[in-house]
């Protein structure tokens, strides 16, 4: 238990569906992140939020829409995804120290049909 929870753990959706991923951290951290982990690719940073403000968008397609209502909660809204978006989506939090050590949730395994 790392103090970061993600729901759902598994999600199967069609290309026309709209769904949302949820992340919650109980560590009192001020920064939250979304990462994408695909087979045969390094972990890819998608979005960074610091004190609820988005500070980084790593050229992510607009079919992924993040939302951070407060420092403890982070959402990733999904719509009109493509099969190549199938991956493990990981949420992480940190205190934004110099070393930026990340605490990850267990991830949501997403399959797009």
Partner 1 sequence: TQLLEQSPQFLSIQEGENLTVYCNSSSVFSSLQWYRQEPGEGPVLLVTVVTGGEVKKLKRLTFQFGDARKDSSLHITAAQPGDTGLYLCAGALTASKLTFGTGTRLQVTL
Of 49 and 64, the one with the shorter C-beta distance to partner 1 is 49
The three-state secondary structure class of 84 is: helix
Cis peptide before 8 (omega within 30 of 0): yes
List the one residue from 18, 101, 111, 113 that touches partner 1 (CB under 8 A). Answer: 101
Segment contacting partner 1 (CB under 8 A): 11-19, 49-57, 61-69, 73-81?
A: 49-57
62: contact with partner 1 by CB under 8 A: no
Segment contacting partner 1 (CB under 8 A): 14-22, 60-68, 69-77, 103-111?
A: 103-111
Q: Residue 6: name the closest of 110, 108, 111 by CA.
A: 108
103: contact with partner 1 by CB under 8 A: yes
Rounded to whole angstroms, the Cα distance separating 110 from 76 reads 12
Give the contact letters, 65-94, x = binds to partner 1 (CB under 8 A), - = no: -------------------------x-x--
Buried-exposed string 16-33: b where 16+ CB fall within 10 A, e elsewhere = eeebebbbbbeeebbbbb
**Beta carbon of residue 112, minimum distance to partner 1 (angstroms, whole number):** 20
């Amino acid at each position: 238990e790392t103090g970061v929870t993600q729901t759902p753990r598994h999600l199967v959706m069609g290309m026309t569906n709209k769904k949302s991923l949820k992340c919650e951290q109980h560590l009192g951290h001020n920064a939250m992140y979304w990462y994408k982990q695909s087979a045969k690719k390094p972990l890819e940073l998608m979005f960074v939020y610091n004190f609820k403000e988005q500070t980084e968008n790593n050229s992510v397609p607009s079919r992924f829409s993040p939302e951070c209502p407060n420092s403890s909660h982070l959402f990733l809204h999904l719509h009109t995804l493509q099969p190549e978006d199938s991956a493990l989506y990981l949420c992480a939090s940190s205190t934004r120290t110099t070393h930026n050590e990340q605490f990850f949730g267990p991830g949501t395994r997403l399959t797009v049909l």
